[in-house]
Amino acid sequence: MTDINKESISILNDLIETSKDGEKGFQTSAEDIKNPAVKAFFLSRSAEIATAVRELQAEVRALGGDPETSSSVSGTLHRAWVDLKSTLTGKDDVAILNEVERGEDVALKAYKEALEKAREKALPSNVVTLIQKQLTGVQANHDKVKALRDSARAAS
């Protein structure tokens, strides 16, 4: 296996962990959120992220690697924090949206760093294109969650 493939696999596996964190985070948050429209959005985002994870895993396999199948330790800790915080705040929608936005900040940073690293290391164009495509989706999620959070804050 070439060094370029190993580097590509490493970056993609990191994004798989980050994405699995987001998938589970949206799923968990959907269980706690009261607003039905936000709940539906969270569930659809969780499903879309699961699709993104499968795309990343397929690319890792195509490069000859073993795709990551679990979320990160930090993601697990973040979800535990969201659960604790939502319990303490009576599962308040604004508090949940604050935490979801924080999770999206982490995902956005991870994707931006992965894209920068992929370009810096001159990884194959298909890898760079996949990261760029998914980064666009992560940015859209982030912006939508921020707008929902701002709207919920204004209403409370």
d(CA 126, CA 8): 10
Catalogue all structural domains in the chain, each as residue range(s) with its CATH number.
3-155 (1.20.1260.10)
Task: Determine the pLDDT at residue 99.
Answer: 83
One-letter amino acid of 131: I
* pLDDT tens digits along 76-117: 555 555 555 555 556 788 888 988 888 889 899 999 999 999
Question: Does 75 have pLDDT greater than 70?
Answer: no
Mean pLDDT of the chain: 87
Average of per-residue pLDDT across 18-24: 88
Mean pLDDT of 124-138: 96
Lowest mean pLDDT among 4-18, 40-54, 71-85, 122-136: 71-85
The pLDDT value recorded for residue 120 is 96
pLDDT above 70 for 56: yes
Burial of 148 (0-12, 13-18, 19+ CB in 10 A): buried
- The Cα–Cα gap between 68 and 51 comes to 14
User: Could you please report the per-residue DSSP string of 108-125?
Assistant: HHHHHHHHHHHHHTT--H
Tell me the C-alpha distance between 30 and 135, whole Å: 22
| pLDDT over 90 percentage in the chain | 61
**CA gap 142, 67 in Å, rounded:** 25
Query: How high is the pLDDT of residue 73?
Result: 56
| pLDDT number for residue 80 | 58
Q: What is the mean pLDDT of residues 23-36?
A: 89
